[in-house]
Amino acid sequence: MKNFTSVHDISNPEILVQEALELKKNLYGFSDLGKNKTLGLVFLNPSLRTRMSSQKAGMNLGMQVQVINAGQDAWNWEFAENAVMNGTTVEHIKDAAKVLSEYCDVIGLRCFPGLKDRDEDYNEFVLNSFIKYATVPVISLESATRHPLQSFADLITIRENWNKPQKPNVVLSWAPHIKALPQAVGNSFAEWMNAADVDFCIANPEGYDLSKEFTGAAKVYHNQEEALQNADFVYFKNWSSFENYGALPEVKGDWLLGEDFLKTNPETKFMHCLPVRRNLEMSDAVLDSSNSLIYQQANNRTLSAQLIIKKILENSL
Ligand code: CP
């Protein structure tokens, strides 16, 4: 069994992108691979893209696909070992993961962080508890700290939009929001960019630095304008504070780009994983510009999921 939960589960992201681009030319060429196999998609949290693209990926490979909104429709899960379950939880993760493994050959799990207990979230308590008891390969559909299928789709999208000999200059920019959001997309994107053949830096307000575990050697700017000079790709995403875990420290300055940036930077491409709060995180002008890659990213979600599932079925991840 081999799971896919981060960039560390693959050997080289750039080679994986080339394999994905080959697969894109022949999306329906492996529809026998998944015959009589079942893909289970287990959602503890909402989703549009991950749900639909993962279903499509499994179906493209000839798999049967079953989806459960476990956060709403399933019995309330208990995670504590040796728990006396005399409270609100009805089924232990041990039993749920083992039973789901009886029905499915590959399982995708979405489990967002609670944003209350940093150690619990950053130790991937829920994902690792599930993996511990599942007896089939598990794919992360976004966990407490990472969103690997999204980041892989993002790297594919960058490669599809870059044909110059030099490395592209990629910037991950924090974007405004009204709610405390996880760091998972930002963490994961940073991890994949650090492993890819790109020049990478991050822009975020003071108080919003991501964990070094994910950002590594990437330079972190607290001034967006400075970071975006010479950017070929800007990836916008909001996240709450890692340091003051889950908090929303006060932000100085305007982090929303509009028409002015488009005029002075006509070559820069814009990315976001979606869903996006228009005119809060990104302006209509930027999202709807010809340099926006948001729908191509969404399209590549099927491709990233399909290649990973294909490799798991071939047992060659
Ligand atoms: N980008 C992404 O994961 O979208 P969903 O939350 O809708 O799946």
In tens, the pLDDT along 104-120 reads 999 999 999 999 999 99
Task: Please give the number of the atom of ligand 1 that sits closest to the Cα of 274.
Answer: 1
CATH at 43? 3.40.50.1370
Query: Does residue 185 line the site of ligand 1, with CB under 6 A?
Result: no
State the residue range of the domain holding 222.
162-292
Q: Based on the structure, what is the number of domains in the chain?
A: 2
Would you call the peptide bond into 266 cis, given omega within 30 degrees of 0 as the criterion? no
Is there a single domain that holds both residue 23 and residue 112? yes
pLDDT of residue 71: 82
Sign of torsion over alpha carbons 185, 188, 191, 195: negative
Nearest residue (by CA) to ligand 1, atom 6, is 47
* Cα separation, 285 vs 40, whole angstroms: 39
* Cα separation, 7 vs 95, whole angstroms: 29
Is 12 within a domain?
Answer: yes
**H or E segment and range at residue 271:** strand 269-271
Query: Does residue 50 line the site of ligand 1, with CB under 6 A?
Result: yes
Residue 275 C-alpha to ligand 1 middle, in angstroms? 6
* Cα separation, 171 vs 177, whole angstroms: 19
Long-range contacts of the stretch 162-165 (C-beta < 8 A, 24+): 162/232, 162/233
* Cα separation, 95 vs 110, whole angstroms: 18
pLDDT at 1 over 70: no
Is there a single domain that holds both residue 282 and residue 243? yes
In tens, the pLDDT along 144-178 reads 999 999 999 999 999 999 999 999 999 999 999 99
- Residue 21 is labelled as binding a ligand: no
Instruction: Report residue 242's pLDDT band, with 50, 70 and 90 as the boundaries.
Output: very high
Query: Does residue 274 line the site of ligand 1, with CB under 6 A?
Result: yes
- 147: nearest Cα among 79, 234, 227, 49: 49
Is 154 within a domain?
Answer: no
Query: Does residue 273 line the site of ligand 1, with CB under 6 A?
Result: yes
ipTM, two decimals: 0.99
Is there a single domain that holds both residue 179 and residue 264? yes
Instruction: Report residue 197's pLDDT band, with 50, 70 and 90 as the boundaries.
Output: very high
Query: Does residue 10 line the site of ligand 1, with CB under 6 A?
Result: no
Token pair, residue 197, equals 């053949």
Query: Does residue 47 line the site of ligand 1, with CB under 6 A?
Result: yes
172: CB partners within 8 A, 6+ apart:
186, 189, 190, 193, 200, 201, 202, 203, 235, 237
Mean pLDDT to the nearest integer, 41-49: 97
* Cα separation, 202 vs 228, whole angstroms: 9
- Residue 88 is labelled as binding a ligand: no
